[in-house]
């Protein structure tokens, strides 16, 4: 049996259509949500991400600005820019595109972002709120994973969920979100013993390692839901996930493809967070 395909592209497009309508309504009340993206240096992947985010904002009617800064920028100059954006009334969301150059203390910069404009959900205040089960902004990619599962009616309550990867951007927050939805969660990483066995216990397997096709067919329980967060560029220019789609799709019940699975959800949630931030700033929620 071939697994059902979780179509992230379609779900993201539905969300974006809804956001566009929301923004039209807000604009009719004189409220224009605004997102500022900060890009330091010339990492080609980061440039593509920022460009796509800006295009998505334009399409949704969200005001957006891009701050492109040289790689040798001084840390205090970046702090000043973030502080200015924190005060800027046009801006409801501030996105610091990662990775930042090595000479800049990323943790410190993320803490400079006002928690009220932290649409990426990376500020320790928002991480803490997610941890206590009362999130305001939650990180876009893991939240996108949860929205996809909910959209397909996949039950999380009481299920064994295994997360492979423990990054602050994906693995840890998605594990918290699953705990908050009553899943029993195991988090695996590079020091995990018996990774194959742990994975085979999963009713829901979420993979975010950045290791192309590392999850093979024999690591997956028959009928499991498999969500592949990985985006890896191959030598021929194509994209592959962290899951061996060909093998795993023969065993899983549901699976996300790469591309067209989790990827498109990230931007959709970013737009959603920005619009919610604008509504909160206007006292509407």
Q: Which residues are at the interface with ligand NAP (CB under 6 A)?
A: 141, 164-167, 169-171, 188-192, 195, 208-211, 214, 229-232, 262-263, 266
Residues 123-162: b if buried by 16+ CB within 10 A, e if exposed: beebbebbeeeebbbbbbbbbbbbbbbebeebebeebbbb
53 in active site = yes
Q: Which of 22, 97, 116, 272 is catalytic?
A: 97
Q: In the bound complex, what is the minimum distance in angstroms from residue 31's beta carbon to ligand NAP?
A: 28
Is the Cβ of residue 86 or residue 210 nearer to ligand NAP in the bound state?
210
Number of H helices, E strands in the chain: 10, 11
Is the Cβ of residue 55 or residue 74 nearer to ligand NAP in the bound state?
55
Residue pair 261/244 in contact (Cβ under 8 Å)? The answer is no
Q: In the bound complex, what is the minimum distance in angstroms from residue 219's beta carbon to ligand NAP?
A: 11
Cα 268 to chain centroid distance, Å, stands at 9
Is the Cβ of residue 184 or residue 232 nearer to ligand NAP in the bound state?
232
C-alpha distance from residue 103 to each of 68, 106, 143 (Å): 17, 9, 30
97 in active site = yes
Is the Cβ of residue 64 or residue 209 nearer to ligand NAP in the bound state?
209
Helix (H, G, I), strand (E, B) or coil at 225: strand
Residue pair 157/180 in contact (Cβ under 8 Å)? The answer is no
- What residues pair up with 55 in beta bridges, in sequence order? none
Is the Cβ of residue 19 or residue 187 nearer to ligand NAP in the bound state?
187
80 in active site = no
Q: In the bound complex, what is the minimum distance in angstroms from residue 243's beta carbon to ligand NAP?
A: 11
Rounded Cα distance between 253 and 234, Å, is 27
Of 207, 231, 205, 208, nearest in space to 220 by CA: 205
Q: Which of 120, 203, 228, 244 is catalytic?
A: 120
Q: Which of 53, 172, 221, 272 is catalytic?
A: 53
User: Catalytic positions, please?
Assistant: 53, 97, 120
């Amino acid at each position: 049996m071939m697994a059902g395909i979780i179509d992230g592209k379609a779900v993201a497009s539905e969300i974006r259509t809804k956001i566009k309508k929301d923004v039209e309504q807000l604009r009719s009340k004189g409220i224009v949500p605004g997102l500022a993206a900060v890009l330091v240096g010339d990492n080609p992947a980061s440039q593509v991400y920022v460009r796509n985010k800006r295009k998505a904002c334009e399409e949704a009617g969200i005001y957006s600005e891009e701050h492109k800064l040289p790689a040798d920028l001084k840390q205090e100059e970046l702090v000043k820019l973030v502080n200015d954006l924190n005060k800027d009334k046009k801006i409801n969301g501030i996105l610091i595109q990662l990775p930042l150059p090595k000479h800049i203390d990323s943790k410190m910069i993320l803490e400079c972002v006002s928690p009220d404009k932290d649409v990426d959900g990376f500020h320790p205040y928002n991480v803490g709120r997610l941890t206590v089960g009362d999130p305001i902004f939650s990180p876009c990619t893991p939240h996108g994973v949860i929205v996809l599962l909910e959209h397909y009616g996949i039950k999380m309550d009481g299920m064994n969920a295994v997360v492979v990867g423990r990054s602050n951007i994906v693995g840890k927050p998605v594990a918290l979100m699953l705990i908050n939805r009553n899943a029993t969660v195991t988090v695996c990483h590079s020091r995990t013993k018996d990774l194959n066995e742990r994975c085979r216990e999963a009713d829901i397997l979420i993979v975010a390692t950045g290791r192309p096709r590392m999850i093979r067919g024999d690591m997956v329980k028959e009928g499991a839901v498999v969500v592949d967060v990985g985006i890896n560029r191959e030598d021929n220019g194509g994209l592959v996930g962290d899951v061996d789609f060909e093998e795993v799709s023969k065993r899983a019940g549901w699976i996300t493809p790469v591309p067209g699975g989790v990827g498109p959800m990230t931007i959709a949630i970013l737009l959603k967070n920005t619009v919610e931030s604008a509504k909160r700033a206007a006292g509407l929620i």
